[in-house]
A and B are shown apart, each in its own frame.
Chain A
Amino acid sequence: MKKPTRPAIYGVMAEFDNPTDVVAATRRAYEDGYRRMDAYSPYPIEALSEAVGPHKERLPLIVLIGGIIGLIGGYAMQYYVAVWNYPLNVGGKPLHSWPAFIPITFETTVLGAAMAAIFGMLALNGLPEPYHPVFNVPNFALASRDRFFLVIEARDPKFDREATTGFLRSLGAQEVADVEH
């Protein structure tokens, strides 16, 4: 199979100065058939992440698995040490004294789940990511201040440099710029 040729640019970026416009524009772009796009905002906007398209919610499952690993690991560690590897007979009390193992099991459960939440989130987001084309647009520095951006990637089948730029202009963008690779 032939390797697809790399498009000349990464995509086209539209800049908005308020959250309402960027959400509306993103919805319009999705309705228009664009799929390979992403929106950028200085703070989380629930409507915006819904507007860029449906996505699988995988993080909660990862956190659950992390918690279960912590739970089983923590309890198994104590059971192994207290019953098998280093049994101490204290006045004939049972070696498998499970109530005394609960506090540590609880802590390892929380630790496992919290680690899974943080590292799972970073991994799913592909962070750390030292380079990304969107930073090539000088105005993009304002994405961490008070501006909102919508980027349609050139890899999108519907992408056409002229038409997409015109489309974004029609959505009330302050400015539309090409994003270099």
Chain B
Amino acid sequence: MASRVDEPHDDLIHVTPNPVIEPGHTAASVTDKISALVLKRKTPLAWYIGFFISFSLANVLMFTIAYLVTTGIGIWGNNWPVGWAFDIINFVWWIGIGHAGTLISAILLLLRQEWRTSINRFAEAMTLFAVACAGLFPLLHTGRPWLAYWMLPYPNTMNIYPQFRSPLMWDVFAVSTYASVSALFWYVGLIPDFATLRDRAKSGAFRVVYGMLALGWRGSARHWHRYETAYLLLAGLATPLVLSVHTIVSFDFAVSQLPGWHATIFPPYFVAGAIYAGFAMVLLLTIPLRKFYGLEDFITLRHMRNCAKIMLATGLIVGYGYMMEAFMAWYSASEYEGFMIKNRIWTGPYWWTYALLILTNILIPQVLWLRRARHNTVLLFIVALVISVGMWLERFVIIVTSLHRDFLPASWAMYRPTMFDWSMFVGTIGLFFTLLLLFIRFLPAISIFEMRTILPGAAPKEEG
């Protein structure tokens, strides 16, 4: 190799202690290794075990939904005044998890963070499945999900229309746009890889299916040029979109008058929390994936380290959000705000959820300041799990502690989730992992064509 080929790549591969791809790989080896995951390699036993567990949980979801639809949402613990409980907690939690996928695929692309390449496909799949799980909750909370299309504005014989001034309507548009754009972005990214699988597949059925999905992609230079333009434009569009989605989700709360919800810090703090939870989920998924599928060459310690750093940074923003909530409660001198924060932190019946929240979301993740912790995958896995719990608790604290003590003491009440609240939540976790495991089995979990671009020698040498 001549000396001045692709300096930036050489720098990535050889100078940094943990490269994005381990040295020695070529376009051929990358292609063969990743496509073999789908086409050749024997499915590891861990896949079957994981699929059995998650599919069982997905069935729990199915039975819960069947019972819910035939009986009514009274099987949940929702009451007055806690009319929004697990359904919105889990909705926000899942949507937030999805956001890291878009951040990795779009924002890090625009920022030219090449390390994102090996995890972006996977993270985008995570986004899609998380949004699917999220969507189930408001849909079923309507009570009559078969009439959910009433939320869409269409001329109808009832002569009524949705209220466009309501943040709940904004949510309908934000989440459906987000789901559509994420799905299309993901599919566009897959087209060249479908072509690779089509050309590699031995069995006729696989070749036909991948061939149809590849749309006849042949890698023409003119096509690549438009493809890259479209991909960059989509990244530019997805970036404000992802920020808007969680901003609008936070408006569901911030636009209301309820102490504990009515706060201007909500949009940025929700977005940071979403990225925080999402990166925790990325680590929860990639750590076992790279181990069981032997992908340590492609998903290296550098990825682990970078994800850990992003979690640390966004976690601190979330911590700032908590501080500002408490500060504004005092600084606003509003009696109701003051009561809310005192009730939330130490005098109320849910004080322990707040204590656990601070422990899991703020205190424990500080271990990521240590370099050794960022390089220890077992520890990272545990921290990511703790953060996932913490971010769920955050939504519980915001929603339940604000609602259960509102302005009128006469309407105060306690909220307790029922068995069906839990089975629905656990069931969506099952659905999420079922979809993800099917994705790993049948689609390339790492973007093959993008991996080729970051190899040494990928760029043509310029003569002269």
Contact = CB atoms under 8 A, between A and B. Distances in A.
Majority-rule SS of B interface residues: helix
A111 B221 contact: no
A143 B221 contact: no
Given A100-B165, A129-B215, A39 B221 contact: yes
Interface string B401-420: 00000000000000000000
Given A120-B230, A127-B216, A144-B199, 6 more contacts: A43-B449, A97-B165, A114-B241, A117-B230, A117-B237, A121-B229
Interface stretch (B169-177, B284-292, B382-390): B169-177
Nearest to B451: A43
B27 A42 contact: yes
B194 to A, nearest CB: 9
Interface in B433-464: 449-450, 452-453, 457-463
Contact of B240 (A51, A78, A110): A110
A46 B460 CA distance: 9
Interface stretch (A4-12, A57-65, A156-164, A169-177): A57-65
A140 B196 CA distance: 11
Contacts of B165: 82, 97, 100-101
A88 B215 contact: no
A128 B31 contact: no
Given A121-B188, A144-B195, A114 B28 contact: no
Contacts of A22: 460
A125 B463 contact: no
Contacts of B42: none
B196 A43 contact: no
Nearest to B31: A145
B233 A117 contact: yes
Interface stretch (B108-116, B156-164, B258-266, B350-358): B156-164
A179 B244 CA distance: 50
B217 interface: yes
A52 interface: yes
B138 to A, nearest CB: 16
Nearest to B255: A100
Nearest to A124: B226
Interface string A123-146: 011011111101100001111111
B221 A88 contact: no
11 contacts: A43-B452, A49-B222, A49-B225, A78-B164, A114-B241, A115-B184, A125-B220, A125-B222, A127-B223, A144-B199, A145-B200
A43 B450 contact: yes
B213 to A, nearest CB: 10
A81 B153 contact: yes
Contacts of B459: 19, 45
Specify which of A100, A114, A135 lies most central, judged by the most chain B CB atoms within 10 Å of its CB: A114
